[in-house]
Amino acid sequence: MQIPEVEISERALLSSAKTALIIVDMQNDFVHEDGALSVPAAAATVAPIAGLLERARSAGAKVIFTQDWHSPDDPEFSIWPRHAVAESWGAEIVEELAPLAGETLIRKLRYDAFYGTPLAHLLHTWGIENTVIVGTVANICVLHTAGSAALRWYRVILPRDGVSALSDFDMHAALRQVSFLYQGMITTTEGVVFS
């Protein structure tokens, strides 16, 4: 069986006024080596995401952080080990990517950042057309959020060096779904250019 290629675009030129950078679940429990559900590849994405975040802030693009946020007895813990419990160290955004005052933080109960949150309303209110999505985990929370954005007719841009997964297979599957099924653009963090 032949594995489909995923096209990588060198550059995504985006209007900062119509673009939101969505940073998915870059929390201690996923990124830090001592986290409850540590994704080993996630640490390598912190610096590229930080650079993209700095450029988005400077350009005046909207910045949104999602935060997995669970009660101590969340039903999800029948699927995954206990993680991102509300108010815990594990639930905190990693220090290098800490939100600034006034930036939007979406606390989510499931994989999809749109599910049961005000995210769709905020993007609509702000007149957003483009969503640049980075974070972890590629084939879980990143993919479900990208899918929900695409199904609402937002253009999805996924910088591959700003996304991490538990395996190469999972990463490729996520990139393939975003590019093929959701007609999103796969690029790099440096390839995202704000105008």
Distance, in Å, from the CA atom of 75 to the CA atom of 111, rounded to the nearest integer, reads: 13
Q: Which of 140, 141, 142, 150 is catalytic?
A: 141
Q: Is the peptide bond before 192 cis (omega within 30 degrees of 0)?
A: no
> Residue 159 corresponds to which amino acid?
P
- Rounded to the nearest 5°, which phi and psi values hold at 185? -105, 130
- Which H or E run contains 57? helix 46-59
16 is catalytic: no
User: Which residue, 180, 177, 166, is CA-closest to 137?
Assistant: 166
**Residues involved in catalysis:** 141
